[in-house]
Chains A and B, each alone.
Chain A
Amino acid sequence: MADAPAGVLRRAGEGVHAYGLIVGMWVRSTMAYRTSFVMMALGNFAATALDFVGIAIMFTHTDTLGGFTLPEVALLYGTTSTSFGLADLALGTMDRVGRRVRDGTMDTLLVRPVPVLAQVAADRFALRRLGRVSQGVLLLAWTLYRLDVHWTPVTLLLLPLMLISGAVIFGAVFVAGAAFQFRAQDASEVQNAFTYGGTTMLQYPPTVFATELVRGVTFVVPLAFVNWLPALRILGRDDPLGLPGWVDFASPLVALVCCALAGAAWRAGLRGYRSTGS
């Protein structure tokens, strides 16, 4: 198992190539039913947009939520929605691993000459999930127009960095969750608690939650790095845990560590499967 770095890179390249192939095919087959696709994407968009309408209605009764104004909450909402949407678009169908192990179709992926992770990730790629991403992006655009903050080059750079790191962190959670399904085939609900549950949480200011919970998503499952910590820097606020300032910029590093851990979990899961079977 001692792969040289070059070998790991080559495998990663093969994986991305295979992922692209399978995704391309799914997109083409989706586009065969264009109307159906447009309806599904609009539905996806509307379902997620209604979520924010709820928050907006809340603000008709109050000016601030946990000390945050509507545009400020919208920044949190828009960033987490975009990040999660991107991860969900790319890897959202990975929660079928458990079913594949149960019905034995995992074996059919193992006899193909491309990485299993890429095949599982690209399986049934659903372009309609663009609905969530576009909703996040639109909201983000509105927020940036309405938000009354002093932009510096640093905070301007922090915004795209936050979105990408956030997507990668969520992606790692998807992979780790899928890896766990090798062991416990019905574990997709546990994963949903972190992904869907996590986004819902990150849509609100950290100040409305108990400190223990904020601490948990900072140090245990590092979801706070998706948007809370960098967004607070952009908004010029202190985080409720009083962490040192550089932590606001640690998201890319946290994302990398998450990737490494998720990758290790995936390999362990697959190795376990190959020694025990279904």
Chain B
Amino acid sequence: MDKEVYTQCFMCSIRCPIKVTVENGEVSFIEGNPHVSGMEGSLCPKGAAGKALVDDSQRVQGPMIRTGPRGSGQWRRASWEEALDYVAHRLKTITDQYGGKSVALTERAQLSTHVSKTFLRALGSPNYLSHDALCKGSMNTACRSLFGYTDGQIGMDYSNTRHLVLYGRNIFESIQVKPVRQIVEAMNRGAKLTYIDPRVTVTASKAHRYWMIRPGTDLALNYALMHVIFEERLFDANFLERWVTGLNELRSFVSSYTPEWAAEETGIPAEEIVRFARELGRDKPRVIFHMGYRGAHQVNEIHLRRSILLLNVLMGSVETPGGIFIKKGPGVAGGKPARKLTEQEGLPKPEAPRLDKVGTPEFPLPDPNHGAPQMLPRAVLNQEPYPVKALFAFRFDPLMSMPDTNETKQALEELDLVVSIDIQHSDIAWYSDVVLPESTYLERMDSPQQANSLKPQIFLRQQTLSPRYDTLPGPIILRELARRLGLEQYFPYSSMEELVRWQLEPTGFTLEDFRAKGFLAYTDKQHFWDRESGLAFKTPSGKIECVSSLLEDAGFSSFPPYESPESGESPERFRMVVGRCAQHTHVSTQNNPYLNELVPENTLWINQRAAGELGIKDGDLVRISSDQHSGSIRAKVTEFIHPECVFLLHGFGHESQLAERSFNKGVSDAALMKNVSDPVGGSPGLHETFVTVRPLP
């Protein structure tokens, strides 16, 4: 029987609305939800490969319990009953001895994150660690330092912008479907695109202005831009007067950062910097300095992110069409959001400090809702602040997603229990004690998504197919574990449908309301606040704080002096820069039959002059080494990358032999990286590692 289901993609974390056509119990077609403005059929290659994921026999087909040493690949299949009993029993032993806080759960935040958080809180653990911090923790902190809102609460109105500025935000390869469509349409109507990156990406090749900046010097460029904006009074004076504090301090701070100084630092000519500032000044306030997608490059990341946001502030492009805006929730239209399990009365709030020390005086500012997962290995190894003995890795691979895989492996050795809840034979699954397979996004219903924006909406992932293998939805797996531990009172459901109905109660919507289109709108009109009287910033002053009370009260300077990033020193030493392509998501799609076919492994981009000096030719196999790891990889010799850095795609070099297509293909960037962090913002510095590159004999 044919049917059409309106649901949400999950090949990456964007959750694009999709329409799936099912024939004879199989997916026959997936397209963007035609009812959603800006989707209307569009889908990225990963979304289009959803059927290949569901049909793949190389995904976890049922619960598995390890029988040999960790990482030996020796397993036995188990029933759900046995696997869940086993995990619950081991978990009970651990929490009896070390307390609930000895359990950590790492996760790529998702629709049912509230269930994971409830599970941990019920156990008595504060240790929820989300991928978000690795990706953009410092961006989150930067946004809070200026506006009092997190990055997730701030949106960008691409459709109406006149000029979009991207700092390494390679949006045409690291695709979000709706924004890409909006940007392309805006460009077709005359909007300008400026792209700044040490490497020529597809986005660079579509830009009106591309600058091959010296790696790690974007902050210098931004201070010089602010310098020119103040010098030439290119700012939005009315907006600054009404809504911004600390401008004198900012002006005086950037006074020594001239375009000539920045030209030396960045390699971008001074006159071009000045011309650019003037152009933006003319187009304001319909300009967007994109705050970034991944904000985890340098250990001073927070100041780069703050500088980008400050440029928006100076241009007055805040809460205005064509600029950045604060996302509005259902309340703006008199509606109510779906409730979450974490809102239940009586759910314990563990008082122990977090294992990553987020929220303590040692690491005060990162968002405790996400934590700082890169701190996990050292916390485990040093038993500091306390012993951590059990790890749940829920659709998140600490081995490939966090810097320094070897150190993470050492930490795994200290754990008494490692459990993966995963769809894939990921590397962490390979090194786990038990693998609890989750049903794919097409085989399960999920918690509703509150999509806050100028027009708040609510989306639902509806189940499209029956599970092909012996898998369960994550919230059912966690509920079943909780039940075995006597904690079922916090999980008032026995099916996803019951959970979703419970969640929807306050909204006034029913499950059935989602059948027709997969989403419901709270309003049909865009909600901007009034720029004269209605901007509700959540800072202590109620204004945008250039001198941030969040930072200063924690003992950090809002404007520390600029420090020039290190160069390579010797001809064979390079800063390692990483990124994405359109065909893969993080570390999770490299084994997908269709996506693997298009991009099966990563290569090492190296500047042709630098390569020439080392005797490396295009296509040569080269040795790439850091203090952490080394591997061999094919060189892509090109003039389209800055000579101080090399580049490789993230997410290759998989170790799990059960994922046969991606096993041992390419080199893992995470293994090469050193684990250092921005002590203020909370992100790891993923571009702080230097590697040596040598030809292989």
Q: Decide if A and B are genuine partners.
A: no
B residues at A contact (CB < 8 Å): none
A residues at B contact (CB < 8 Å): none
